[in-house]
Copies of this chain bind each other. A is one copy, B any other.
Amino acid sequence: MPTRHSAIGVFDSGIGGLTVFRELLKILPRESVLYLGDTARVPYGSKSRETVLKFSTENVLFLLRHDVKLIIVACHTASSFGLPFLEKHFKHPIMGVIEPGVETALATTRSGRIGVIGTQATVGSEAYLHSFSRRDPAVKVTQAACPLFVPLVEEGRLNDSITRQVAQRYLKPLIRARVDTLILGCTHYPLLKRTITRVMGPKVRLIDSARQVALKAKGVLEGLQLNTPLRDGGAPLRRFFVTDEPRHFEALSRRFLRQRLGDVSKVDVAG
């Protein structure tokens, strides 16, 4: 069983979860973190629930073999489809990125009109809608799928006129619904903050759940008394595992992490 000295395990369909990783380093600087990016099978956002569940389960099993004490599902699609299933079947604490975003949005909105953008799968799963209606049935939630945002980010077109036009089309229903708060429901979208703000206007608050996820992880570890002790001598480990060759991951990581990666290894998680 894991101890206080075990690592936190994070998995994502690819590279986007590094935004969560970055916040973990800030908020839990003494914790060791293992990151798994399923870069051979990315993306998840255009795939079915069954396939995303299978891949997510394989990712969890891989992290468990590395003796982690908490698993964070950093991918919104995997959280939307998979979290209830994973929580039900595994004993280890597992958390996703949907609830922290919903909590932050509810604490932020004044008008009660909230927008959610994500992949086709995340939007189709209605995980956000269910979470909001459980917590506050009075809020009005408007969703939009933005399938081109991920390829645009991966091509580096962060502030490009094409990206702005794509954003204008996708975000139209959210502008029309006059949301005052918008959840960026995919780990790639925080990189488009400038473009999204230009389209939505400066008054709409954008919710990037990465920081909230890290804060919640801190609370969970403290609650379970699994946080690394203050006076722990060893330097925390940071390891990266990917299912495709590391090159592309390493190259793209600078866009997400703004610092150099440590050790990146290729692994096979398919079962």
Q: A interface vs B, CB < 8 Å? A: 39-41, 46-51, 55, 147-148, 151-152, 154-155, 161-162, 165-166, 169, 243-245, 247-248, 270-271
Contact A46 B148 (CB under 8 A): no
Q: Which residues of B sit under 8 angstroms from A46, Cβ to Cβ?
A: 154, 248
Residues A50 and B245 in contact in the complex (CB < 8 Å), given A41-B41, A270-B270: yes
Q: Which residues of B sit under 8 angstroms from A271, Cβ to Cβ?
A: 270
Q: How far does the alpha carbon of A154 sit from the alpha carbon of B46 in the complex, in Å?
A: 10
Q: Which residues of B sit under 8 angstroms from A151, Cβ to Cβ?
A: 147-148, 151
A139 to chain B, nearest CB (A): 29
Q: How far does the alpha carbon of A124 sit from the alpha carbon of B55 in the complex, in Å?
A: 28
Q: With A40-B41, A51-B244, A162-B165 given, can you name 19 additional A-B contacts, CB distance below 8 Å? A: A39-B47, A40-B51, A40-B55, A41-B41, A46-B248, A48-B245, A48-B247, A48-B248, A50-B244, A51-B243, A51-B245, A147-B151, A147-B154, A147-B155, A148-B151, A148-B155, A162-B166, A270-B270, A270-B271
A124 to chain B, nearest CB (A): 11
Q: How far does the alpha carbon of A68 sit from the alpha carbon of B189 in the complex, in Å?
A: 44
Question: How many copies of this chain are found per oligomer?
Answer: 2
A269 to chain B, nearest CB (A): 10
Contact A47 B162 (CB under 8 A): no
A62 to chain B, nearest CB (A): 14
Contact A47 B244 (CB under 8 A): yes
Q: Which residues of B sit under 8 angstroms from A270, Cβ to Cβ?
A: 270-271
Cβ-defined partner of A152 (8 Å) among B51, B55, B148, B155: B148
Q: Which residues of B sit under 8 angstroms from A48, Cβ to Cβ?
A: 244-245, 247-248
Q: Which residues of B sit under 8 angstroms from A247, Cβ to Cβ?
A: 48
Cβ-defined partner of A162 (8 Å) among B50, B162, B243, B245: B162
Q: Which residues of B sit under 8 angstroms from A51, Cβ to Cβ?
A: 40, 243-245
A16 to chain B, nearest CB (A): 14
Q: How far does the alpha carbon of A16 sit from the alpha carbon of B161 in the complex, in Å?
A: 29
Q: Which residues of B sit under 8 angstroms from A41, Cβ to Cβ?
A: 40-41
Q: How far does the alpha carbon of A155 sit from the alpha carbon of B161 in the complex, in Å?
A: 19
Q: Which residues of B sit under 8 angstroms from A47, Cβ to Cβ?
A: 39-40, 244, 248
